[in-house]
Amino acid sequence: MFTFNDTARLQESELIAALKAGRESAFRMLVEMHQGKVYNTALAIVQQSEEAEDIAQEVFVEVYQTIGQFREEARLTTWLYRITTTKALAHLRKRKAQKRFSLLTSLFGVNNEVLHDPPDFQHPGVSLEQQEEMGTLFKAINRLADSQKVAFVLHYVEEQSHREIAEVMQVTVSAVESLLHRAKQNLRKQLTPFYQERKTP
């Protein structure tokens, strides 16, 4: 009999087989193992905690519904990152579309709060002393092109290797290296004034 406690010793292939068999204990284990990574990845991209929670829930619902279609050509974690980044970027595009619509419909209004960036983005693991610096960094990350943003978040936030990122994004390793290089260049341009200002007495 397959139980939740037994799953702790399962290899990935066994876990996938159990998921495809529809065993709820396997699904509970999958969520417990990966919910932190999924949430943190989504949060680093959308930068709103409630939205990241929604995305994480959507990711696991999709996994539950489509696990039968998973062909195991990539690792399970790679598949999860791919779904997470795709959904996070879709949420960003939807939010931007809503902002444009709000701008058009509120040109003559007085309340434009929806047009402003969230004032208080915080990511897990960031100390109080680092919040101003990290808030500025994540605002800069938010301005990157989508592909640069995904590569940067996966490498520097989730500590994925270039090869792992290439699998998630379905591009070559050299393409990932190029994306990271351009992301760092763009971030340097954006952040240089901030750090110069902090150094000024």
Structural domain boundaries in the chain: 1-106, 125-201
Two domains, one topology: 1-106 and 125-201: no
Q: How many CA atoms lie within 13 A of 121 on its CB side?
A: 23
Reduced to 3 states (helix: H, G, I; strand: E, B; else coil), residue 56 is helix
Nearest-angstrom CA–CA distance, 7 and 25: 8
Task: Give the global pTM.
Answer: 0.69
H runs (alpha helix) in the chain: 12-20, 24-46, 49-66, 76-105, 131-142, 146-152, 162-169, 173-199
Cα separations in angstroms, 184 against 66, 81, 84, 93, 192: 35, 21, 22, 23, 12
Please give the distance of CA 75 from its chain centroid, rounded to a whole number.
18
Question: 125-201 — its CATH code?
Answer: 1.10.10.10
Confidence class for position 106, pLDDT limits 50, 70, 90: very low
Q: What is the pLDDT of residue 140?
A: 85
Please provide the CATH number assigned to the domain covering 1-106: 1.10.1740.10
pLDDT in tens, 6-46: 444 458 888 999 999 999 999 999 999 999 999 999 999 99
Rg, Å, the chain Cα set: 19
For residues 78 and 37, give the distance between their C-alpha atoms in angstroms, rounded to a whole number.
11
